[in-house]
Amino acid sequence: MAITLAIDCMGGDHGPQVTLPATFDFLRKNPSCSAILVGPELVLRAYVTPVEQEFGARISVHNATEVIGMEESIASALRSKKDSSMRVAINLVKEGVAQAAVSAGNTGALMAIARFVLKTLPGIDRPAICTVLPSRRGATYVLDLGANVDCSAEHLLQFGIMGAMLASALEHKERPSVGLLNIGEEDIKGNDIVKRAGELLRQSDLNFFGNVEGNDIFNGTTDVVVCDGFVGNVTLKASEGLAQMISSGLKEEFSRSIFTRLAALIAMPVLKSFRRRFDHRRYNGASLLGLKGIVVKSHGSADRLAFLSALTRAAEAARQQLPIKIAERMAAVSPAPTI
């Protein structure tokens, strides 16, 4: 299936220096896909000219005169920057010109603009952000990661449905298992909202595993882990912090003396294959779920390989027509109670 991605080339810590080479890599790997590069035309042209012949009509530049800063307020991004690269990329999805938008920009602004421009799917009260984390058994999809700090049990059920549809689309699993993040396995654990969410998930037609605990995310106990955005955000960032601490600790130990540096040289192939295994760049690309269109958020600090992962995820979600599948599934769920 031919997919066109709209790429906010200006987002992230590195902007076009990363987003453009990554897009070229993506186009080389996906000969049936096209890319619309969104940003100030003058800036982008310089990058595109050398590859115009290679990609032909598969690549085009769509001018956008404004850029949303990484620290810019949501209100300012939404109200006064109607020609930002981020917004224009999302507009292209809305208009059906592109099947997915990818941005490494400001998460809050991206969610607000995506929600405003694309609107939520019928039956979805609140969009959620879902990322994939490495686990002992492969990958775990975790949501929400910060779009919703206070969630009702019904929201958590909707997250379960959306997460399962995403895992199904990207991992090609028919009935991905869904776990509810809690502080114990027993049904009586947790606060009232989580207990009630457990009931709703049990009654649903999802492949609901039951409660899972923090360690189950990395043990890969279930394909999907559902939690509110506060818990998800803190857990994700704590994991990032721990992984960075371990990685820099390992580096420090191996560069302590001439002997340890020698040991590092000998252990290098092993350390490299270890790093590849848990390389967070391979897991880059969080999905904004529950919208009438596909939007993928790359980590702001993404490098070329990481941004390529985000593009690949966006294309796969588009191939699988994820929003249509979520909408169909939501229509099959009994009408949600008023919240």
Cβ proximity to a second copy: between 112 and 194 the closer is 194
Total residues binding a second copy (CB under 8 A): 56
Q: Where are the beta strands (DSSP E) in 251-338?
A: 286-289, 294-297
Alpha carbon distance 271, 136 (integer Å): 18
Q: Quick one: which of 65, 240, 331, 332 contacts a second copy (CB under 8 A)?
A: 240
Helix (H, G, I), strand (E, B) or coil at 16: helix
Q: How far is the CB of 254 from a second copy (least distance, A)?
A: 6
Q: Is 138 a residue that touches a second copy (CB under 8 A)?
A: no
Cβ proximity to a second copy: between 95 and 240 the closer is 240
Q: How far is the CB of 185 from a second copy (least distance, A)?
A: 11
Cβ-based neighbours of 49, under 8 Å, separated by 6 or more:
none
Q: Is 233 a residue that touches a second copy (CB under 8 A)?
A: yes
Burial (Cβ within 10 Å: 0-12, 13-18, ≥19) of residue 28: exposed
| Choices 15-23, 82-90, 133-141, 282-290 (CB under 8 A): range interacting with a second copy | 133-141
Q: Is 56 a residue that touches a second copy (CB under 8 A)?
A: no
Q: Quick one: which of 2, 75, 97, 245 contacts a second copy (CB under 8 A)?
A: 245
Q: Is 185 a residue that touches a second copy (CB under 8 A)?
A: no
Q: Is 63 a residue that touches a second copy (CB under 8 A)?
A: no
Alpha carbon distance 146, 148 (integer Å): 5
| Choices 17-25, 118-126, 164-172, 255-263 (CB under 8 A): range interacting with a second copy | 255-263
Q: Is 55 a residue that touches a second copy (CB under 8 A)?
A: no
Cβ-based neighbours of 257, under 8 Å, separated by 6 or more:
none
Q: What are 278's two structure tokens?
A: 């848990």
The size of the chain, in residues, is 339
Q: What are 145's two structure tokens?
A: 């990661």
Q: Is 239 a residue that touches a second copy (CB under 8 A)?
A: yes
Q: Is 339 a residue that touches a second copy (CB under 8 A)?
A: no
Residue with tokens 């993404």: 302
Strand-pair category, 207-212 with 138-143: unpaired
Q: What are 235's two structure tokens?
A: 């857990």
Alpha carbon distance 68, 307 (integer Å): 18
Q: Quick one: which of 32, 203, 244, 301 contacts a second copy (CB under 8 A)?
A: 244
Whether the Cβ atoms of residue 86 and residue 103 lie closer than 8 Å to each other? yes
Where does this chain bind a second copy (CB under 8 A)?
134-136, 146, 149-150, 181, 183, 190-191, 194, 213-219, 227, 229-231, 233-246, 248-250, 253-254, 256, 259-260, 262-264, 266-267, 269-271, 273-274, 277-278
